[in-house]
A and B are shown apart, each in its own frame.
Chain A
Amino acid sequence: MGSMAGTHAADRAADTPATRRRRRSSGPPGEPRRLAYLYILPAVAVFATFIGFPLVRSATFSFYEWDGLGSSTWVGLANYTAVFSDPTLRGAFFHALVLIVFYAVIPVSLGLLLAATMMRARRMRGLGLFRVLIFLPQVVPMVVVAIAWRQIYGPEGPLNSLLRGVGLDGLARPWLGDYTWALPSVGLVGTWVGTGLCFVLFLAGMAKIQRELYEAARLDGAGPLREFFTITLPSVRGELAVALTLTVIAALKTFDLVYVMTSGGPGNRTAVPSYEVYRHAFLIGEVGTAAALALVLTAIVFVATVIINRIGDDGQGPAGPPATRGIRALLRRRHDDPPTTVTSAPSGALSTPAASDEGGRRR
């Protein structure tokens, strides 16, 4: 740890024209160093070997017909044609769309509503405890979640018992075997997992809204609804983007739930892209189709992320390659704002949890 004298020296050094110029530019602080390459070497190497290379190899695989065992045949774009023409695979993407409603749209709406309701009370005792409990589903392993919900949905399971108990016998059904209800049933598990996350996210976002805004609005005679749409919602746009990104990706990537709960059935009603990738590559030996499917899925994840973060971006996103701008806006989330506060931040501030992270996010 530097001495006080050192800190003052740094303060003085910070005033030289060179540093000032550097601070204004968007580049990272510090002087040029070739050493940096050594520091990033392990990360970049493992990244290139286990993410970059396989991705390129997937692209290669996707042009071949291969059973994973013998030799392969070049088939051009036939695998991609299959992805878009095979009813089961097309169905899988449609199911993913339905899951987005359950994984993302409903939890985000519920989370917003719940958080906004709670924020009307200035201070609620015990809110911290509820936050911990409601967030819990997010950390439980998916396999455990799937086993629990498989029981809940059983023909004689708690859900049907509850329905029969309140006289709604007509609604009781074999949820996971029902052609209409199997997919929503799987989706509802996603809702259960995601709602707590969204709630906690929005709670954090709304806590930063200045109280005076609400007081002013109330003086203007605004009701809860107008308050929500004119103040609350615009203020948590960033959190909204994060929540949507996380939940939409989770919906598109659903695998464990389907693997454990339904194996894609009844019929193919709960077949989802990830499960089809696995099934084609490792069960029925259509590796090329699986690779094409995986790449299409990846592309969809990218596009969804960019679109969502365009929405969350408030128009002054940092420059850069257009494709990454949205993602950058999400991921950096203003951490990279010119560090005007940094030089004056007392070092003590850094000892409180996340001061560094939250510091950049205050508006």
Chain B
Amino acid sequence: MSRATRKWARFVATAGVVALIAACAPGSDDDGDDGDAGGDTTADADGDADADADGDTDPSDLGELTLVVWDQEVRGGQSEQIDALNEAFEAEYPNITIERVSRSTDDLRTTLRLALSDDDAPDVVQANNGRTDMGQYVASGLLEPLDSYAGTYGWFDRFPESVRSLAMYSDDGEVYGDGALYGLPQMGEIVGLYYSKPKLDELGIDPPATHDEFVAALEAADDAGELPIQFGNLNPFAGIHEYGFVQNQFVDAETIRNLGFGRPGSSWLEPESVEATETIMDWVDAGYFTDGFAGLDYDDSWQQFTQGEGVFLVAGTWLLADLDGAMGDDVGFILPPAGASGQNLVTGGISIPFAIPSNSDNKDAAAAYIDFITNSEAMATVADAGNLPVVDAEQQEASGLQADVFEAWAQAGAEDLLVPYLDYATPTFYDTITAAIQDLLGGQRAPQDFLEHLEAEYVEQVGS
């Protein structure tokens, strides 16, 4: 008895000592490692010479190195263009080897935070530009501001303010759209309306330019026994695009921008938002979306569209190359129909920007790489691979679906039609809005409840 007690006493005492050692606060002793200070010291230690030569670094002088690049361009056309550019880069700078790691958008997102904070971080990553991702990384000092490189490579001239501001943050990550530049995109990106040409011909209607025409087309398709809108929402992100598409037809640009960028001055509870939310629910109830869309995989969904299921498909230009390849002349692309605002507002802006982690050991080479894949030759490669280059689109040859997309992109730029992705708004808004939209479309949240849920988080962010 007493022996057992003694044993336990000793055990408890030992455990107590361990507990004391373990009790130091998390993050208290490794602030330096993870924050700017630590990251910069390690980088500078082995890159001092480079830092001095910042002004005119030639990547050929950097010695033998391996550049680890994480991208999310896994789709047909995009993957191709990255491969082509990587090959060209390696040919130009034989001393640099590129190790490419590509993941789906979701999988990249779930591992990027872990990777960036590691000492052994990748050298170039695609970091989604919203507050959920890039904003958080900037606030934590995980990404390198690119302004000095921008001077060297002339990025301020190459990219217009409207493009750059989508990847600009203040040092603390609080202000979005202003401050330092943290990433550069390769492609333009808009979420528009793909339509099946043969099906519209059969229905005897033109591609809808206004909301009313669009609703008429949906009704006509439904009456003819066609599936009006192909949609798969098993992957949570898809709902953002579908909802934004409808929202753009009711709410004005200023409001959507405030909501999307997490800026004060607007509200989710205005009557237009209610109307938009109720409309998308009407469409769900009317059966305008694919039967069982909640359980349909995103990629299965667009593949069904290519096989003739669905008159319309709301999707981004990231599907351009894949759809063009599968459907050729049978598919067209237009901006979302103009609604209350009278404008063809369209969600989008830039493809996920390429950024440089603070913990990268090869920042100069990384900057050279980013420059290489976004310069004007690269833009031609992007167009050749069947995609939408973020700048210089008008200088590229295009036909068919690609021409449609280029035209829509040009119009969006000229008429200032771009509105942001809704998940940019707050650090946790991606999870909030994807789940909320699934809830809404699944009939689990009434429209009013849905909007109040979003409003609560928006208000918390803007602090009004």
Q: Which residues of A are at the interface with B, using a C-beta cutoff of 8 A?
A: 48, 52-53, 56-57, 59-61, 64, 66-72, 74, 150, 153-155, 173-179, 182, 262-268, 279, 282-285, 287-288, 321
Query: Is the Cβ of A266 less than 8 Å from the Cβ of B294?
Result: yes
Interfacial chain B residues near A60, Cβ < 8 Å: 22-26
Contact with A along B25-44 (1 / 0, CB 8 A): 11110010011000000000
Partner among A52, A178, A179, A321 whose Cβ is within 8 Å of the Cβ of B18: A52
Query: Is the Cβ of A70 less than 8 Å from the Cβ of B438?
Result: no
Distance of A179 Cα from B439 Cα, bound (Å): 8
Is B54 in contact with chain A by the CB < 8 A criterion?
Answer: no
Which single residue of chain A is at the shortest CB-CB distance from B290? A155
Shortest A288–chain B CB gap in Å is: 8
Interfacial chain B residues near A265, Cβ < 8 Å: 234, 236, 434-435, 438
Query: Is the Cβ of B27 less than 8 Å from the Cβ of A177?
Result: no
Known pairs A154-B297, A177-B233; A266 contacts B439 (CB<8 A): yes
Distance of A122 Cα from B410 Cα, bound (Å): 80
Query: Is the Cβ of A174 less than 8 Å from the Cβ of B113?
Result: no
Query: Is the Cβ of B18 less than 8 Å from the Cβ of A56?
Result: yes
Distance of A74 Cα from B23 Cα, bound (Å): 12
Partner among B8, B22, B27, B439 whose Cβ is within 8 Å of the Cβ of A72: B27
Which single residue of chain A is at the shortest CB-CB distance from B292? A174
Distance of A267 Cα from B433 Cα, bound (Å): 9
Partner among A53, A57, A71, A153 whose Cβ is within 8 Å of the Cβ of B295: A153
Is B376 in contact with chain A by the CB < 8 A criterion?
Answer: no
Interfacial chain B residues near A262, Cβ < 8 Å: 234
Distance of A64 Cα from B23 Cα, bound (Å): 11
Query: Is the Cβ of A53 less than 8 Å from the Cβ of B22?
Result: yes
Is B53 in contact with chain A by the CB < 8 A criterion?
Answer: no
Is B300 in contact with chain A by the CB < 8 A criterion?
Answer: yes
Query: Is the Cβ of A70 less than 8 Å from the Cβ of B439?
Result: no
Shortest B238–chain A CB gap in Å is: 11
Which single residue of chain B is at the shortest CB-CB distance from A179? B442
19 additional contacts (CB under 8 A) given A266-B294, A282-B114: A53-B18, A56-B22, A64-B25, A66-B26, A67-B136, A67-B140, A68-B27, A69-B117, A72-B26, A154-B300, A173-B292, A174-B234, A174-B292, A177-B293, A177-B295, A178-B442, A179-B443, A265-B434, A266-B233
Shortest A166–chain B CB gap in Å is: 19
Distance of A174 Cα from B290 Cα, bound (Å): 11
Known pairs A56-B18, A179-B444; A64 contacts B26 (CB<8 A): yes
- Among A66, A155, A173, A282, chain B packs the most CB atoms within 10 A around the CB of A155
Query: Is the Cβ of A71 less than 8 Å from the Cβ of B31?
Result: yes
Which single residue of chain A is at the shortest CB-CB distance from B8? A321
Query: Is the Cβ of B31 less than 8 Å from the Cβ of A70?
Result: yes
Query: Is the Cβ of B27 less than 8 Å from the Cβ of A66?
Result: yes
Is B110 in contact with chain A by the CB < 8 A criterion?
Answer: yes
Which single residue of chain B is at the shortest CB-CB distance from A54? B22
Shortest B329–chain A CB gap in Å is: 27
A-facing residues in B243-298 (Cβ within 8 Å):
290-297
Is B461 in contact with chain A by the CB < 8 A criterion?
Answer: no
Interfacial chain A residues near B82, Cβ < 8 Å: none
Is B76 in contact with chain A by the CB < 8 A criterion?
Answer: no
- Among A150, A174, A268, A279, chain B packs the most CB atoms within 10 A around the CB of A174
Is B452 in contact with chain A by the CB < 8 A criterion?
Answer: no
The 11 sampled A-B contact pairs (Cβ below 8 Å) are A57-B22, A60-B26, A67-B140, A68-B117, A69-B27, A71-B27, A72-B27, A263-B106, A268-B435, A283-B109, A284-B428
Query: Is the Cβ of A155 less than 8 Å from the Cβ of B291?
Result: yes
Interfacial chain A residues near B34, Cβ < 8 Å: 69-70
Give the size category of B's interface with A. Answer: 35 or more
- Among A173, A176, A283, chain B packs the most CB atoms within 10 A around the CB of A283
Partner among A68, A267, A284 whose Cβ is within 8 Å of the Cβ of B438: A267
Query: Is the Cβ of A266 less than 8 Å from the Cβ of B26?
Result: no
Query: Is the Cβ of A72 less than 8 Å from the Cβ of B435?
Result: no
Distance of A153 Cα from B117 Cα, bound (Å): 37
Partner among B23, B297, B431 whose Cβ is within 8 Å of the Cβ of A284: B431
Interfacial chain B residues near A56, Cβ < 8 Å: 15, 18-19, 22
Distance of A182 Cα from B427 Cα, bound (Å): 28
Shortest B24–chain A CB gap in Å is: 7
Is B142 in contact with chain A by the CB < 8 A criterion?
Answer: yes
Distance of A107 Cα from B236 Cα, bound (Å): 32
Query: Is the Cβ of A266 less than 8 Å from the Cβ of B25?
Result: no
Interfacial chain A residues near B443, Cβ < 8 Å: 179
Which single residue of chain B is at the shortest CB-CB distance from A288? B26
Which single residue of chain B is at the shortest CB-CB distance from A262? B234
Query: Is the Cβ of A155 less than 8 Å from the Cβ of B295?
Result: yes
Interfacial chain B residues near A71, Cβ < 8 Å: 27-28, 31
Query: Is the Cβ of A178 less than 8 Å from the Cβ of B428?
Result: no
Shortest A65–chain B CB gap in Å is: 10
Interfacial chain B residues near A61, Cβ < 8 Å: 26
Partner among A74, A176, A179 whose Cβ is within 8 Å of the Cβ of B234: A176
Distance of A154 Cα from B23 Cα, bound (Å): 48
Interfacial chain A residues near B114, Cβ < 8 Å: 282
Contact with A along B343-387 (1 / 0, CB 8 A): 000000000000000000000000000000000000000000000
Distance of A119 Cα from B31 Cα, bound (Å): 63
A-facing residues in B116-140 (Cβ within 8 Å):
117, 136, 140
Interfacial chain B residues near A72, Cβ < 8 Å: 25-28
Distance of A266 Cα from B28 Cα, bound (Å): 38
Shortest A287–chain B CB gap in Å is: 7
Distance of A355 Cα from B172 Cα, bound (Å): 66
A-facing residues in B400-414 (Cβ within 8 Å):
none
Shortest A31–chain B CB gap in Å is: 18
Query: Is the Cβ of B296 less than 8 Å from the Cβ of A155?
Result: yes
Distance of A176 Cα from B110 Cα, bound (Å): 21
Interfacial chain B residues near A150, Cβ < 8 Å: 297
Interfacial chain A residues near B109, Cβ < 8 Å: 283
Shortest B424–chain A CB gap in Å is: 15
Distance of A283 Cα from B109 Cα, bound (Å): 8
Distance of A64 Cα from B22 Cα, bound (Å): 13
Known pairs A53-B22, A70-B140, A175-B295; A266 contacts B438 (CB<8 A): yes
